[in-house]
């Protein structure tokens, strides 16, 4: 590691599960200094008191939460700001921070959609800052690496879109699939719901429970279909059924889809190897193994497997990520590395 | 409850998870006497020592395991025998027991398929007693009630088939669905794997894990497709992806399927109400609620929900059962009630 | 079962975990009619909508929540009222209900202490109805059976006191233990915290977590020491450390204690056999097996084991209950059976 | 980090849970090279195939298991060998490896006891290599740092001893406690039982279960009492009750103990601050917070809290570790850093 001056970063809304994972990753990143972490609720308190796993951490141990105001963030000297805020709140911060010259990595859904009309349809309200949508880049490095490198505002994807989009894009862009036949079923750990007091996410309500939700129209469909349509070169509508299962962390997705006329399983394998063979965070399992949430636990990997069902003629795509890492904070750090000029894996492997 | 002479029953292979659930249900059945329980491993030991939850049970407390031999079972005076044995072993018992005039409820897969060729294809070996296949009735009371009532050998369905077949049959038999487009994703608790020493099912291997398995061809596909084909009046091939999740008990299934030309969501609702409106163990949720494994925990209910996705034109069917109750032992007791002339819900509600 | 007129009962505060378990048990009780269930939050809604496991229940399915007011309860014709309310609220209901001639079984801590000064010390406020304390009987049938039978107000014990008091009382009352040396460590499932929106009891906060709490002075110490002092004939002060572990239901307790001069392990065994040998819900394991939460799951049993450590000369007592059954609702139904003249095990075995 | 030549290490028995955690930690250690990993069962297979979480790891990804023979280990050039073998097997390797000049860190119990007679008493057999016991150093750096630095054979402590010994030693060596009154209750995650096919550790057997075991005499008592006796300067016998709870990883311990005549809670605080105030891996919580398994998850920290119960006059000590890190592999790496001349926290913070 070069001994250059560390990049100063800020984390806004650091007390949720994504914020916590972001701090864990930033705490092991050799090229940065955490200049400021904010939390309205915990301003003034040391991180280690609120999130005791950070007590005694050599880098983060002594840091205190400050209030979540733009002037303070700017004054901290941060060049890069991670927004780990509830949906809707990020847009309030992004504009002022960008105008002050900071570069913003937003983990919320506020800037993931290019079309404000789609935002309205799926989020049931006007977009709070539509003028920024044009500048925002969708933060999936394996798909949009070069735009991310130059971006001032990165809209980091959600966990469901990561497990669904990454397996499909190489195949859709080559015309290997019938885009009308995509059916994605996803299983999510409970941390995806955030650290909020809600009876539905109590231990007793989630343990020994398994349930679908958000069927048939979950909000994340909007960004999934945006990215799939871009890859396919046509409007893609899919079926997507998310399920909540009793894991702290982890997400797996199973996709069933028909081939287009010309495709076969070898073409699938070739497409994955061509697009992802050199990717640091994509592990291609093919038919040799099945992705499992535990194998990607606390890593930034996505595992992708694929099988062909000769009986029905359908392709089955299987993927697994840690919803808080590759599905949130890890992917954001991966984008940050691109923005800040670090090797993409810095602090992540 | 009438004070008639209790029916004598035997449970063969009582020390597994299905056997244990069977004993729990039989222990609360007011019309039976457990004449004999067998276990090769635990012969001579009292049930309460091996399965301590039964210690002090007013009916089962004192009962001892005997060895698993046909003569002993016959000598016990049992009229009805539940076989809760590993697949392949049940066929050894069924023939001799039937020849001795006992009626047999088999919880294994040995007699679920009518066609020995299909058995060979999916179970990779000759069927051990093909001469009995003709007599066996598939033990799903909501579909085959009248045959079960008269049967001497009932092949009780597995848990996956129960969650998939029951939602589809009323729709397929009315021609409401395009049978080529059925895609079923199921999530199963770990008890489905049985009580056997296997590293893959250790606590540490299953907790914080979620994984598909048996993709694309799981053994239970054979009985699922047999029953769906019967309902549809044509050969049906489906995609089925089972997943293992960290629950002790419980199974949910999400099915995506296209309508046939003439169908709509009202026809779906009508079909369910017509076929299942009077069923004691089918709870029709429609679009009002989502089936959840915890709501059917330790019950013999199957919860069924359905939604129509106007965006893709697909129907989504959702179901939930307890894999050990409606998915195994409860359904077997429901069949037993039919065989023995009890009201179908006796001991189950 | 005699075909006598069923006893009418009401459940006040039926939407929490104890209320839910109470309804499950009452739903299988052959001698009662649930005349009224109340919930301020859910008044007017059917039980099955709020607690979907009760959908389709032959007895409880159709019942609706009513508002929690005394007149309505009285008007329902209920003779017996279960109060499953948060601590502090039960006292508001008990007085008016008693004055209207109803008999009350309170699951809260409001009436468990005989001395209002002790209540103030442990609950940090004046007792809301000290005039009722004299009439209240501590609802532990194995210890206070005859008083319960005649009681108008039964204060049902908490889960911790049940696992600690039942193993100790037979030994203390015979002078076998040095009462100054009692150290009790208990492990509780999360349902003990109730169904309330609290970040500390979210799935993600409790799964993969284990922690002591309420050390060194937990509120339940007050009733534990009251009962132990009664048994010992002198003031007893103990150490009690409760721990929260990731179970839905279940509680185990491990007690270390020194013998008094004259005692030995045979005297312990004799005492347990003399006092509990005929009890329906106490299973004496001695040194033959170790109590496990899973063995008492959804039962009203308490399992008790004991060992002598020859190296240190200390006795180890081990106990296990289901915190919602023997630790709350089951014990309340056991008391109800005594009040209403049913065999003590009715609806519980 | 200096760019010196990396130290070559070997891991023998790398396929168990401790071996896996060891590889995780070694994989992020900047000063080592993993020269050889062995497993009888998996010889010839790449690590990533057997433990898929290591697929794609920049350092460990390509490494293959070799057979577990001494010549191969010596030939690999390893200077330091970690033995992560079942108890009893380590002794077979230690002698030959030491004679070949390698330095050995043993994670098993084989060399933790100084007295072969104590080994025989607790492990029910002759010690396999008593001649090595004199050379072995107990690998608890906070207590035996200087001996570890010079050791050729380090016997790394178990998880229970770590949670019990570290809180007690500073107090015992100052005479603050009555050593006859120590009662330790510990709660362990299931990974402590190892990755072995055993029905008792299946998911279904451990989930929704909590149970004591090994009461009153668990094998680890022997090393606990050895270390406590050394600190106290007299023979110490304690009560120790281990419990199994449904966690993958994590251990908490609650100790109750009486003060000696002269002690008070301030003396306790002073002792901890004096002995552990500068320790990198001991976090002193005092009465400000309660140790929780989740706060030390995947870290090498031990959290220690303490409270005084004025009602009974007893001190309560609370501790938490990750059983696989500070309770096994992390502590071993901490010892390795001392042996190899690295800063003690290298690869661990």
Inter-chain residue contact C190 with A202, CB threshold 8 Å: yes
Residue (of A268, A277, A332) closest to A300 by Cα position: A332
Taking chain C (349 residues) in runs of 10, the rounded mean pLDDT of each run is 80 94 96 94 93 91 90 96 92 95 97 96 93 95 98 97 98 97 98 96 98 96 98 98 98 98 94 98 96 98 98 97 98 98 96
Mean pLDDT to the nearest integer, A292-301: 98
- 8 Å CB contact between D8 and D35: yes
Would you say the pTM of this structure is higher than 0.80?
yes
The active-site residue out of B36, B159, B206, B335 is B159
- The whole-number pLDDT of residue D1 equals 44
Which tokens go with D186? 């510990």
The active-site residue out of A36, A156, A159, A206 is A159
Which tokens go with B253? 């299934």
In this predicted structure, the answer to whether residue A62 has a pLDDT above a threshold of 90 is no
- Contact list in D for residue C214 (CB cut-off 8 A) is none
Which tokens go with A13? 């809304």
List, for residues A109-123, the tens digit of each pLDDT value.
999 999 999 999 999
List, for residues A175-189, the tens digit of each pLDDT value.
999 999 999 999 999
Mutate to test the interface with D, among B189, B203, B323 (most CBs of D within 10 A): B203
In this predicted structure, the answer to whether residue A23 has a pLDDT above a threshold of 50 is yes
User: Closest to A293 (Cβ–Cβ): which among B210, B292, B308?
Assistant: B210
Residue C220 Cα to chain centre, angstroms: 11
- Contact list in C for residue A191 (CB cut-off 8 A) is 204
Closest residue of chain A to B190, computed from CA coordinates: A208
User: Closest to A55 (Cβ–Cβ): which among D52, D57, D283?
Assistant: D283
In angstroms, the separation between the Cα of residue B190 and the nearest Cα of chain D is 7
Sign of CA dihedral A259, A260, A264, A265: negative
The active-site residue out of D36, D159, D206, D335 is D159
User: Closest to D58 (Cβ–Cβ): which among A289, A296, A349?
Assistant: A349
User: Closest to B56 (Cβ–Cβ): which among C55, C58, C283?
Assistant: C283
In angstroms, the separation between the Cα of residue A339 and the nearest Cα of chain B is 33
Residue (of C56, C84, C79, C60) closest to C9 by Cα position: C79
Mean pLDDT to the nearest integer, B191-204: 96
Inter-chain residue contact A187 with B187, CB threshold 8 Å: yes
Mutate to test the interface with D, among C183, C268, C325 (most CBs of D within 10 A): C183
Mean pLDDT to the nearest integer, A151-179: 97
CB pairs under 8 A between C and D: 149
In angstroms, the separation between the Cα of residue A77 and the nearest Cα of chain D is 26
Mean pLDDT to the nearest integer, B174-196: 97
Strand segments, DSSP code E, in A261-300 are 282-286
- The whole-number pLDDT of residue C3 equals 57
The most distant pair of C-alpha atoms in chain C lies apart, rounded to whole Å, by: 63
- The whole-number pLDDT of residue C86 equals 86
CA atoms of D74 and D40, how far apart (whole Å): 17
Residue (of D155, D82, D84) closest to D119 by Cα position: D155
Residue (of C296, C292, C290, C281) closest to C316 by Cα position: C290
- The whole-number pLDDT of residue B3 equals 57
Inter-chain residue contact C209 with D294, CB threshold 8 Å: yes
- Contact list in C for residue B303 (CB cut-off 8 A) is 52, 55
Q: Which subunits sit against D, judged by 3+ Cβ pairs under 8 A?
A: A, B, C
List, for residues B145-158, the tens digit of each pLDDT value.
999 999 999 999 99
Inter-chain residue contact C204 with A190, CB threshold 8 Å: yes
CB pairs under 8 A between A and C: 61
- 8 Å CB contact between A187 and A245: yes
H or E segment to which residue A43 belongs: none
In angstroms, the separation between the Cα of residue A206 and the nearest Cα of chain C is 6
- Contact list in D for residue C316 (CB cut-off 8 A) is 215-216, 239, 241
In this predicted structure, the answer to whether residue A230 has a pLDDT above a threshold of 50 is yes
Decide if A156 is catalytic.
Answer: no
Inter-chain residue contact D210 with C292, CB threshold 8 Å: yes
In angstroms, the separation between the Cα of residue C247 and the nearest Cα of chain A is 8
- Contact list in D for residue C254 (CB cut-off 8 A) is 185, 212, 215, 241, 243
- 8 Å CB contact between A317 and A292: no
Mean pLDDT to the nearest integer, D164-188: 98
Tell me whether residue C71 is exposed, middle or buried, using C-beta atoms within 10 angstroms of its C-beta: 0 to 12, 13 to 18, 19 or more: exposed
In angstroms, the separation between the Cα of residue D335 and the nearest Cα of chain A is 20
Closest residue of chain B to D202, computed from CA coordinates: B202
Inter-chain residue contact D207 with B203, CB threshold 8 Å: yes
Distances D105 to D85, D89, D332, D333 between C-alpha atoms, Å: 11, 14, 7, 9
Inter-chain residue contact B309 with A239, CB threshold 8 Å: yes
Which tokens go with D177? 């406690």
How many Cβ atoms from other residues are within 10 Å of residue B91's Cβ? 20
Q: Which subunits sit against B, judged by 3+ Cβ pairs under 8 A?
A: A, C, D
CA atoms of A35 and A82, how far apart (whole Å): 12
ipTM of the assembly? Answer: 0.96
User: Closest to C349 (Cβ–Cβ): which among B58, B289, B299?
Assistant: B58
- 8 Å CB contact between B81 and B73: yes
Q: What is the CA radius of gyration of chain C?
A: 20
CA atoms of C325 and C343, how far apart (whole Å): 18
Phi, psi (degrees; rounded to nearest 5) at D291: -60, 140
Total residues found in chain B within this entry: 349
List, for residues D96-136, the tens digit of each pLDDT value.
999 999 999 999 999 999 999 999 999 999 999 999 999 99
- The whole-number pLDDT of residue D3 equals 57
The tokens 């009974």 sit on which residue?
A: D312
In this predicted structure, the answer to whether residue B2 has a pLDDT above a threshold of 80 is no
In this predicted structure, the answer to whether residue A288 has a pLDDT above a threshold of 70 is yes
- Contact list in A for residue D57 (CB cut-off 8 A) is 349
């Amino acid at each position: 590691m070069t001994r250059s001056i560390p990049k100063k970063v800020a984390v806004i809304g650091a007390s949720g599960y994504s914020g916590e994972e972001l701090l864990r990753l930033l705490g092991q990143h050799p090229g940065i200094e955490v200049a400021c972490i904010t939390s309205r609720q915990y301003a003034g308190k040391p991180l280690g008191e609120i999130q005791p796993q950070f007590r005694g951490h050599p880098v983060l141990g002594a840091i205190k939460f400050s209030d979540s105001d733009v002037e303070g963030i700017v004054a901290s000297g941060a060049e890069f700001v991670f927004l780990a805020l509830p949906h809707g709140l990020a847009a309030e911060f992004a504009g002022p921070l960008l105008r002050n010259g900071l570069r913003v990595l937003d983990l919320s859904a506020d800037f993931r959609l290019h079309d404000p009309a789609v935002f309205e349809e799926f989020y049931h309200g006007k977009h709070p800052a539509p003028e920024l949508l044009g500048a925002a880049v969708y933060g999936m490095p394996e798909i949009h690496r070069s735009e991310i490198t130059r971006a001032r505002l990165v809209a980091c994807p959600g966990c469901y879109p990561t497990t669904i989009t990454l397996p499909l894009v190489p195949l859709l862009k080559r015309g290997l699939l019938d885009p009308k036949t995509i059916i994605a079923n996803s299983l999510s750990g409970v941390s995806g719901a955030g650290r909020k007091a809600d009876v539905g996410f109590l231990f007793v309500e989630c343990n020994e429970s398994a349930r679908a939700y958000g069927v048939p129209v979950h909000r994340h469909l909007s960004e999934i279909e945006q990215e799939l349509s871009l890859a396919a070169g046509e409007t893609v509508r899919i079926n997507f059924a998310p399920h909540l299962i009793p894991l702290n962390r982890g997400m797996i997705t199973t996709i069933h889809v028909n081939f287009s006329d010309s495709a076969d399983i070898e073409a699938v394998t070739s497409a994955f190897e061509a697009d992802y063979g050199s990717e640091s965070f994509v592990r291609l399992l093919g038919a040799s193994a099945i992705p499992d949430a535990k194998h990607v636990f606390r890593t930034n990997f996505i595992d992708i497997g694929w099988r062909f069902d000769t009986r029905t003629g359908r392709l089955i795509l299987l993927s697994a990520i840690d919803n808080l890492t590759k599905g949130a904070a890890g992917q954001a750090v991966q984008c940050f590395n691109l923005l800040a000029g670090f090797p993409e894996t810095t602090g992540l492997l």
